[in-house]
Amino acid sequence: MESPVALVTGANRGIGLEVARQLAGRGYLVYLAGRDAAAAREAAERLHAEGLAAEPLALDVTRPESARAARRAVEAAHGRLNALVNNAGVLLDEGVAGLEVPVETVHATYEVNVYGALRVTQAFAPLLIRARGNVVNVSSIMGQLASAGPGYLAYRSSKAALNMITRVLAAELAPRGVRVNAAHPGWIRTRMGGPAAPGTPEEGAKPIVWLATLGPDGPSGGFFGPGNQPLDW
Ligand SMILES: NC(=O)c1ccc[n+]([C@@H]2O[C@H](COP(=O)([O-])OP(=O)(O)OC[C@H]3O[C@@H](n4cnc5c(N)ncnc54)[C@H](OP(=O)(O)O)[C@@H]3O)[C@@H](O)[C@H]2O)c1
């Protein structure tokens, strides 16, 4: 039997690279997607050195043609996609009040965190339907409406929008056998999370990998955090 196929966006470093590593460790053939082709190649070489199967793939989630080209490459090689992890993300308004954040910053955040995830999911939907696969949107507790406070307006609202995209696409794709869930990795030590974060990328990847590898009876339209625990919206 052929290996299941996964694609992780923003997989050249941070949580995305660790998700790719854990999926490859479970026998997935992983497309390690990065907007910088050389960085994706280097990351794939790191996994090869660990004896894992990973294919580098150039994919800038803000560019429609890049998403279509990535879809064509995976379709030509496998004709299906068992797991899509929309991990690529940016945090551009650290330390800026919502009342002062330039709208351009909000727009640039949405380009990656919202439109990017939607664009890539739309591009790969036919391949995901063929595999009756899983979509994982890497969200954040910062996108939770119930606990929202001041600041991080661009980032928080982008993840809240991503959560709603998760719900709508989960409902639309349920009859086609595809599950769509949102994951909060925890506060994780990466370039985005910073050096003071308590969690490792290995820990942060766990709920994401669980959702990426769900079987047909797994949940859909949910928001899950560390320990695979359901979170309030
Ligand atoms: N770290 C945390 O504490 C934390 C907490 C909650 C949620 N998250 C979420 O977890 C995900 C991964 O975050 P991280 O902590 O691993 O951050 P990170 O280390 O900053 O990595 C972000 C990744 O996204 C990629 N990316 C940015 N713009 C892109 C684009 N246009 N196209 C393709 N890739 C793009 C980056 O690529 P380049 O290397 O080319 O920049 C990088 O690979 C994000 O969605 C983030 O919001 C993180």
Q: Where are the domains of the chain?
A: 5-228
- pLDDT surpassing 80 at residue 1: no
C-alpha 179 – ligand 1 centre gap (Å): 22
The conformation of residue 55, written as its DSSP 8-state character, comes to E
Measured CA to CA, the distance from residue 77 to residue 90 in angstroms comes to 30
pLDDT, tens digit, for every residue of 70-93?
A: 999 999 999 999 999 999 999 999
Q: Which residues are catalytic?
A: 155, 159
CATH superfamily of the domain spanning 5-228: NAD(P)-binding Rossmann-like Domain (3.40.50.720)
Confirm if 102 and 83 have CB atoms less than 8 A apart.
no
DSSP-assigned beta bridge partners for residue 162 = none
% pLDDT > 90, the chain: 99
State residue 45's pLDDT score.
Answer: 98
* Per-residue confidence band for 56, with pLDDT thresholds at 50, 70 and 90: very high
- pLDDT surpassing 80 at residue 109: yes
* Per-residue confidence band for 52, with pLDDT thresholds at 50, 70 and 90: very high
**What's the mean pLDDT when you consider all of the chain?**
98
Cα–Cα distances in Å, from 93 out to 15, 87, 184? Answer: 20, 18, 19
| Residue list, ligand 1 pocket, CB within 6 Å | 9-10, 12-16, 34-36, 39, 60-62, 87-90, 112, 116, 138, 140, 184-185, 187-188, 190-193, 197
* Residue closest to 152 by CA, chosen among 215, 100, 206: 100
State residue 34's pLDDT score.
Answer: 98
DSSP-assigned beta bridge partners for residue 107 = none
Mean pLDDT of 35-41: 98
* Per-residue confidence band for 19, with pLDDT thresholds at 50, 70 and 90: very high
State residue 226's pLDDT score.
Answer: 98
State residue 2's pLDDT score.
Answer: 86
Confirm if 86 and 159 have CB atoms less than 8 A apart.
no
C-alpha 188 – ligand 1 centre gap (Å): 11
Mean pLDDT of 170-175: 98
State residue 90's pLDDT score.
Answer: 99
- pLDDT surpassing 80 at residue 165: yes
C-alpha 89 – ligand 1 centre gap (Å): 4
* Per-residue confidence band for 39, with pLDDT thresholds at 50, 70 and 90: very high
The structure tokens listed for 101 are 């954040």
DSSP-assigned beta bridge partners for residue 86 = 137
Mean pLDDT of 159-183: 98
- pLDDT surpassing 90 at residue 176: yes
The structure tokens listed for 152 are 């991080």
Nearest atom in ligand 1 to 112's CA? 31
Mean pLDDT of 14-42: 98
Give the list of residues 6+ apart from residue 80 with CB closer than 8 angstroms, or none: 5, 127, 128, 130, 131, 133
* Per-residue confidence band for 211, with pLDDT thresholds at 50, 70 and 90: very high
Cα–Cα distances in Å, from 150 out to 18, 99, 183? Answer: 31, 10, 22
Confirm if 87 and 23 have CB atoms less than 8 A apart.
no
